[in-house]
Structure 1
Amino acid sequence: MNKINYLFLALGLSVLTLPSASAQLESNQSQFDEFMDRSGNSYRSATGKPGPEYFQNEADYTIKANLNPETHTITGQITMEYINNSPEDLDYIWMYLEQNRFTEDSRGTLTTPVEGNRYNGDPLDGVKISNLQAKVKRSTSTKHLITDTRMQVFFDQPIKAKGGKAEVSMNFEFEIPVNGMDRMGRLSTQNGEIYALAQWFPQVAVFDDIEGWNVMPYLGAGEFYYDYGNFDVEITVPHNYVVVASGELQNPKKVLSSSAYDRYEKALKSQETVSIISSEEIGDSSMFANQSGTQTWHYEIENSRDFAFAASKAFIWDGAQFNLPSGKTGLAHSAYPIESDGQDAWSRSTEYSKASIEYYSEKWYEYPYPAAVNVAAEIGGMEYPGLNFCSWKSKGASLWGVTDHEFGHNWFPMIVGSNERRYAWMDEGFNTFINYYSTLAFNDGEYPARLNQPRNLTSWFIGDTRESIATYPDVANLRNLGMIAYYKPAIGLVMLREYILGEERFDYAFKSYIKTWAFKHPQPKDFFNHMESAAGENLSWFFEPWFYGTGNIDLAIDSLRKRDGAYFLTVSNKGDIPMPVKMQITFEDGTTAMKSLPVEIWQRGDTWTHKFETEKDIKSIEIDPDKILTDVNFSNDSWPVNIYKD
């Protein structure tokens, strides 16, 4: 959208603001006060930065897993080194066993409506844990307690504060569901099964200064929240399976034939998509190092909050180089079945992936990982560090949209590690916001951007069933989740950028927020504090009603009168959310000018009269001519009435 032009005086208008007498007697001060306790402490500062005693714990994982297509099972062995950087000793840790979500008596199953929803899962036996050992120094404990999707692991000696270490190891096994809550599972294709594996191994929960142990159960809509660490993962599969995963392939020469390896190396250096395994070579043993038996694919990723992978003998596999602002490069690659092939479909996936990674790296913060893979699966769209699962049926604008959205999640919440179980808007909403600008930029706007007509959503904003953005995802009505997690917070950031702060101030503050909280765990108050501090603006009047309320925007022009050679314009705030009043004035000679009244005009009441002088006769005035605001009643935005055209 066009940047607001503030050059009112340059067009020959002189201004003087006079409050109405009645407004002087009123006060809306509470709308401008802080709406939550956002004072600083030693862990989180009042400027929205980590404080001097901020901490987060670390977990490094070494995993060896075997995929058995005959039984559709994963068996594995995991060793986790845990570092306690917190200020208190820990007698135990909590770990997530997300595959227990699929049992018949899990909390998630029992809280799924009988008519079903997106988060249906196959009834399975859950995760089998064996040979668990929890070591601190020379002591070893085997004591653990499994409750639904969580496991409490006890130690014989506490993990000491501020740097104490523990090692937890165990074996695990589970059956891979066909329907994995639209986050993982199996897809049958004409050339074999595609296995999409996510939230598949025992993983430690976050211990922080806000909640202590974050142990919200895995129900469905709430996604995940983990600490950062390094992953060293070996995955053994049949010899003619391709495995793609979070991070970088460590042993391409050991799993690929010489010809496939040469293509892999070419893709690492090519700006155009290179076929590594073509549609004619699907499942061909000659493309792999071993001609029979099994192979082990070895992947590593550093400073990541999770690890996911996909495996299949049905994959077409292609890739290209992505380029980062620092000069670093990496591999953008795609894996998909022949059913998804075609230039109107997944043959463009790597092109989309490369464009998405490069745009966000240039615009906001550099992508930190050496590879990024897009996988076609029976999943509408789901993100993990460096890896997407997207629908194998997607084509054209739909495929671009889901690919760009899922890769955008590498910034929120993979780089900026917010708590998805509680605050879906801090990852889905922020991501939808950056997707808007990425789509505008891709191929000079090849595909339509979704946030350019926010007033088309007015019916939801005035509906009786709307909920607050702050509603936890597992609590929200699923019919509202798309709005409160994705669109409303994204629209709020667009308004903040293009209407309230302006692009330069917003971009500086938003980039600063990303850089400050990269690979850390911000809370909502950290975002609010940081944006206010970096942009130099009290925004409580906007943050509270937009993110924590269900009220609406309704600015109005009440009247325009000419008296003694001057114009007196009366405007009112008929809604629940105050806003600056930005207007386009059109004169009888056809010229125009922009005028802006600050949000502070509403501090003393909901009506304001503004006086300005001009030698030109005014023909019309329109509030928010670019239609950035979600004003729920645009019939009163103009003088004379009804000049607005959609």
Structure 2
Amino acid sequence: MKYFAGSLLFMLLSSTVSFTLNAQEVNQDNQHLFNNFTYRQGNAYRTASGKPGPEYWQNAADYNLDVTLDDKNHTVSGNVTIQYTNNSPETLDFIWIYLEQNRFTENSRGTLTTSIQGGRYSGDVEGGYTLSNVSAKTDTGVSSKYIITDTRMQLWLDKPLAANGGEVEIKMDFKFKVPVEGMDRMGRLEVKDGTIYALAQWYPRVAVFDDVVGWNTDPYLGAGEFYCEYGDYNVKITAPANLTVVCSGILQNPKEVLTKEQQERWEKAEKSDKTVYIIKPEEVGKPIAQTKTNGTLTWHFKMENTRDVAWAASKAFIWDAAKMNLGNGKTGLAQSVYPKESDGQIAWSRSTEYTKASIEFYSNNYYPYPYHNAINVAASVGGMEYPGVSFCSYQSKGSSLWSVTDHEFGHNWFPMIVGSNERRYAWMDEGFNIFINHYSTEAFNNGEFPTRSSSPRSLIGYLTSESREGIDTYPDVANPRNLAYTAYYKPAAGLYLLREYIIGHERFDNAFKSYIETWAYKHPQPNDFFNHFENVTGEDLAWFWKGWFYGNGNIDLGIVEVKPYKGNSLITLENKGEIPMPVKFQVIYTDNASEIVELPVEIWHRGNSWTHLINSTKEIKRVVLDPDKIIPDVNVLNDTWNKL
């Protein structure tokens, strides 16, 4: 006992001496910066390792759609049959269905919450659905009872739908007027040779029922995008014979809707790395581009395991295509349709080249592209994504056209493959997509175009703004001026910091690719991403998720002093910000030799001051924090020390 007491006293004294010699100053407990910040424990549905659990489930919806486009009255009418499967462990008394065309009415919640000054998400107010023959048929009976509230329909069943595989067949006829202004996601555009119809959010579709909130029934207001179940689609679109129709999925009847010449060009494009015309500019609007000169044609498309489909139609389309090389011997077809107003080598004549390069990069670097077609449509829409189809501004050209094309097709990975909830967590698709856009742009033509700014330092102006909001702010709640930062640039910069500064390329890439593969065609939540990333990288990153993704704090590392110590040197650093970070600094000696020192984030566990011993007899001339200028340090004045 005496020996133990004496030894303990000796160790305490030794520790005190060692602490003094190393000049470490403990001025506070920083545990609050490193604690977990949300309920991140696993369960049977979602594991603590960030994977779907042994009892994970999600429901499914298969669609048969048969519609007609009336280009005189600008309407779409037809019917939908939805085969809905309840894979959940509970019975369902009703089914919630989204009626997103109802956003384009005078009294919709989205219209009534749009500023009188308007904005990107303004829309027409003379639209909305006309519905008839609504029914829900189960093996026990048929129900036609429903309640419509704004952009949602609650369709009641005759008896509760059985758990673990119960099925219901939902049918209805619908009609709506295609808006001119469709919230920058769809609409009509008049060009010299006709009208371009960009059709999205065009059919009644089932809302997601999940294990987190049950029915996801957030109304369609504006900035918030979509959350959809996966299923198979069978789509028939009847349109005037002089219109070209493109749609998500694979065209089933090319011999019925394409001329013999167009079929031959199509086959050539399927084998060509160079762009091939299917409809040439000089053929637009002429009989040579049509299988028949009057009446209608029905275009038939199918797509499997997708969360949505979109389409476009016009008699003004130039149409070209080229082969996509998707890896492992798989190929697909990149396509573009655009009017003469968009033609030209500095504009849409390169659209298929851009589409091909974008899809190939993501397919070969992150996860294989699952669809055969990737179609870029020139429209009045600034930029909007759907599985296999993108709508981009017909006025875009040069680097602008590359950027919007690359961004919209990048969305095929987030959220088309990784099916996150865009309406609530825009950062899980927009931010992730901006992040991968940075690397695809670096790779395209050896950097032909400048990358979208994912440099965290470019955000300092926003990060120090009094009106800034957190990444976790819902899109429809965020100040419109902040949405680009909360949903796009700040989360992208967060991933960039993780890869380029905090974790490193190899471990980050392993985790990022594993996350995509693990949650492909499923519905991850934010905690699933956080948990999975930590488990694959082997790092507790709660301090970073909390500080960067769920807070408004900032990074401010600084150099306090550099002084000699027993023939060596001591460098004292400080953390004056709210987000701790690992520290990287460059030491430059008077003989101009230099070295890089890296310290882990754990130096801030016990306080905001840390002194590091430089074990060298050389005299230090200069010390520079973050020499590669990666982290968004809000005070650069204390990032450099120079010998006087």
Match of 1:100 in 2: 102
Match of 1:59 in 2: 61
Deviations 1:487-512 (A, max 9, x none): 00000000000000000000000000
Please say if residues 635 and 641 of structure 1, whose CA atoms lie closer than 8 Å, have aligned partners that are also in contact. no
Please say if residues 24 and 611 of structure 2, whose CA atoms lie closer than 8 Å, have aligned partners that are also in contact. no
Q: Which amino acid aligns with 1:578?
A: P
Q: Give matches, 1:428-577, under 5 Å.
A: 428-451=430-453, 453-577=455-579
Q: Which amino acid aligns with 2:246?
A: V
Q: Tell me by how many angstroms 1:641 deviates.
A: 8.6
Q: Give matches, 1:135-146, under 5 Å.
A: 135-146=137-148
Deviations 1:174-222 (A, max 9, x none): 0001000000000000000000000010000000000100000000000
**Counterparts of 1:42 and 1:405 in 2: how far apart (Å)?**
35
Equivalent residues, number: 627
2:78 paired residue among 64, 68, 76: 76
**Counterparts of 1:290 and 1:332 in 2: how far apart (Å)?**
26
**Counterparts of 1:91 and 1:131 in 2: how far apart (Å)?**
20
Q: Give matches, 1:118-137, under 5 Å.
A: 118-137=120-139
Q: Tell me by how many angstroms 1:22 deviates.
A: 6.4
User: Is 1:267 the equivalent of 2:269?
Assistant: yes
Q: Tell me by how many angstroms 1:614 deviates.
A: 1.1
Q: Give matches, 1:158-177, under 5 Å.
A: 158-177=160-179
Q: Give matches, 1:279-290, under 5 Å.
A: 279-290=281-292
Deviations 1:530-570 (A, max 9, x none): 10000000000100110111110111011100122011000
User: Helix, strand or coil: the match of 1:406?
Assistant: helix
Deviations 1:8-63 (A, max 9, x none): xxxxxxxx998966633531112111111100011110000011111100000000
Q: Which protein is bigger by CA-based radius of gyration? A: 2
Deviations 1:600-637 (A, max 9, x none): 00000000011121133222111111111111111111
Please say if residues 17 and 609 of structure 1, whose CA atoms lie closer than 8 Å, have aligned partners that are also in contact. no
Query: Structure 1 residues 18 and 285, CA, compared in 2 at 3 Å: closer, same or farther?
Result: farther
Deviations 1:383-429 (A, max 9, x none): 00010000000000000000000000000000000000100000000
User: Is 1:240 the equivalent of 2:242?
Assistant: yes
Q: Tell me by how many angstroms 1:591 deviates.
A: 2.4
**Counterparts of 2:537 and 2:20 in 1: how far apart (Å)?**
28
Deviations 1:235-272 (A, max 9, x none): 01111111111111111111011001111111111110
Please say if residues 85 and 166 of structure 2, whose CA atoms lie closer than 8 Å, have aligned partners that are also in contact. yes
**Counterparts of 2:273 and 2:235 in 1: how far apart (Å)?**
29
Q: Give matches, 1:207-606, under 5 Å.
A: 207-451=209-453, 453-606=455-608
2:207 paired residue among 205, 208, 213: 205
Match of 1:10 in 2: none
User: Helix, strand or coil: the match of 2:533?
Assistant: helix
**Counterparts of 1:391 and 1:208 in 2: how far apart (Å)?**
35
Q: Tell me by how many angstroms 1:157 deviates.
A: 2.1
Q: Tell me by how many angstroms 1:450 deviates.
A: 2.2
Q: Which amino acid aligns with 2:274?
A: E
Match of 1:12 in 2: none
Query: Identical aligned pairs, as a percentage?
Result: 60
Match of 2:611 in 1: 609
Query: Which segment is superposed worse, 117-126 or 22-31?
Result: 22-31
**Counterparts of 1:451 and 1:617 in 2: how far apart (Å)?**
38
Please say if residues 17 and 612 of structure 1, whose CA atoms lie closer than 8 Å, have aligned partners that are also in contact. no
**Counterparts of 1:125 and 1:442 in 2: how far apart (Å)?**
41
Match of 1:31 in 2: 33
Please say if residues 186 and 194 of structure 1, whose CA atoms lie closer than 8 Å, have aligned partners that are also in contact. yes
Please say if residues 18 and 609 of structure 1, whose CA atoms lie closer than 8 Å, have aligned partners that are also in contact. no
Query: Please, which runs of 5 or more residues in structure 2 have no aligned partner?
Result: 1-17
Q: Which amino acid aligns with 1:354?
A: K
User: Helix, strand or coil: the match of 1:401?
Assistant: helix
Query: Structure 1 residues 410 and 641, CA, compared in 2 at 3 Å: closer, same or farther?
Result: farther
Q: Which amino acid aligns with 2:480?
A: L
User: Helix, strand or coil: the match of 1:23?
Assistant: coil
Please say if residues 17 and 611 of structure 1, whose CA atoms lie closer than 8 Å, have aligned partners that are also in contact. no
Deviations 1:78-115 (A, max 9, x none): 00100100000111100000000011000000000111
Q: Tell me by how many angstroms 1:229 deviates.
A: 0.5
User: Helix, strand or coil: the match of 2:471?
Assistant: coil
Match of 2:12 in 1: none
Q: Tell me by how many angstroms 1:465 deviates.
A: 0.2
Please say if residues 416 and 518 of structure 1, whose CA atoms lie closer than 8 Å, have aligned partners that are also in contact. yes
Match of 1:3 in 2: none
User: Helix, strand or coil: the match of 1:30?
Assistant: helix
**Counterparts of 1:52 and 1:290 in 2: how far apart (Å)?**
55
Q: Which amino acid aligns with 2:407?
A: H
Query: Structure 1 residues 17 and 257, CA, compared in 2 at 3 Å: closer, same or farther?
Result: farther
**Counterparts of 2:333 and 2:402 in 1: how far apart (Å)?**
18
Please say if residues 48 and 528 of structure 1, whose CA atoms lie closer than 8 Å, have aligned partners that are also in contact. yes
**Counterparts of 1:331 and 1:29 in 2: how far apart (Å)?**
53
Q: Which has the higher contact order (CA 8 A, sep 6+)?
A: 1
Query: Structure 1 residues 436 and 339, CA, compared in 2 at 3 Å: closer, same or farther?
Result: same
Query: Please, which runs of 5 or more residues in structure 1 have no aligned partner?
Result: 1-15
Q: Tell me by how many angstroms 1:167 deviates.
A: 0.4
User: Helix, strand or coil: the match of 1:578?
Assistant: coil
User: Helix, strand or coil: the match of 2:327?
Assistant: coil
Query: Structure 1 residues 480 and 20, CA, compared in 2 at 3 Å: closer, same or farther?
Result: farther
Deviations 1:328-349 (A, max 9, x none): 1111000000000000000000
Query: Structure 1 residues 607 and 76, CA, compared in 2 at 3 Å: closer, same or farther?
Result: same
User: Helix, strand or coil: the match of 1:478?
Assistant: coil
